[in-house]
Amino acid sequence: MNITEVFSSYEEIAKSFHSVRITERTRERMTIRYDPQNGFGTMRIYALFPGIILGFNDFFLDSFPSYSGETAEGLKINFCVEGRCEAKMSDEKYLFMEPGDLSIDTRMVKEQFTFPNDRFCGIELFVHDSAIKQAPPPLFKDAGIDMGYIRKRFCPDNQSFIAKSSDKIKSIFMKINEPIPGCEVNYFRLQAAELLFLLIHMEKPAENEHRTFFTTGQINIVKQVVKIITSDLSVHYSIDNLARKFSVGSTSLKNYFQGVYGKSISAYLRDKRMDKAAEYLEKSSRPIADIALLMGYENASKFSAAFKLARGESPLEYRRKCKVSG
């Protein structure tokens, strides 16, 4: 797959999706912008070598449609810089990534990418199957980089790999994220070579150390739990009762929830309460004592202490600030 074919495939993808447009295209770079009603996102794509693509994904929204053809089949090396990403894979399992995660995969994404916290920033090095089968670029050949070996090492029998990045791997991605201006593509080529070299020679992390794949049934349980606990923020829920409702163990439910949202059920609910309380304080004249009850606090004093801990200022201070700035 040459550079022209790579960019042509992305152009066809952009045409097939509503609110997607190409904002820049040069010989080695393309930028795609996504502007749905609920947010925005950008994808910057660099063609490093024939069949080898570096992508920067930066989203401020809750989901993005899968662009599979994605650029077709191959090896996908992903690093999560910020936020969280959920993706239903071609084997019907879900992959979740959080900051610092390294994912190496050959599966395709089905339907869409979902961002549980409305934010995702990630870097992907994609190696098309054609690049794995053909002679490597001279830089890779001289360094002894065998991309077929990397695939066999991390994805035997088309299985997937996910773990917390080592300090060395994380350092490379951080350098990729801050390129030298004016010579980005050559800089990215060197960093990609260093990354692939490390994946061949580094000690492989324990495969199950940080695995976060979930089934459709487990994901559905978590999303139903979210609907229940956010339907009335004044109600307090027992994790044991929630677990029994879905015929799972309390520990399993906690693990599912932590895997999807990156926080415990209690922390998630606390954040939702504080967000809703801030909305009431900003947009309504409800007494603080009434807001406290709506958020499940038995009195204004406990609510004020919790709000100050979360937001750094008391409810009264927050309301006054909003009035001044409004």
Closest-CA residue to 286 (of 298, 300, 272): 300
Predicted pLDDT at 210 = 45
What are the start-end ranges of the E strands in the chain? 20-25, 29-34, 40-49, 52-60, 63-65, 74-83, 85-89, 93-97, 101-105, 109-114, 120-128, 161-164, 213-215
Residue spans per domain, the chain: 3-211, 216-325
The string of pLDDT tens digits covering residues 38-48 is: 899 999 999 99
Predicted pLDDT at 4 = 65
Three-state secondary structure call for residue 262: coil
Predicted pLDDT at 212 = 57
Task: Count CB atoms within 10 A of the CB of residue 215.
Answer: 12
Closest-CA residue to 94 (of 80, 78, 112, 79): 112
The string of pLDDT tens digits covering residues 252-291 is: 999 889 888 888 999 999 999 999 999 999 999 999 999 9
Rounded distance between C-alpha atoms, residue 278 and residue 318, angstroms: 8
The single residue listed with the structure tokens 């820049």 is: 24
C-alpha pair distances (Å), 230 with each of 43, 224, 235: 33, 10, 9
Domain at 3-211, CATH homologous superfamily: Jelly Rolls (2.60.120.10)
The string of pLDDT tens digits covering residues 53-112 is: 999 999 999 888 876 444 457 899 999 999 988 888 777 777 888 899 999 998 888 778
What H or E segment, with its residue span, contains residue 261? helix 250-261
Mean pLDDT score, 199-209: 75
The string of pLDDT tens digits covering residues 177-194 is: 999 888 999 999 999 999
Query: Residue 220 pLDDT > 90, yes or no?
Result: no
Closest-CA residue to 278 (of 221, 319, 250): 319
Predicted pLDDT at 207 = 54
Domain 216-325 bears CATH identifier 3.30.110.30? no
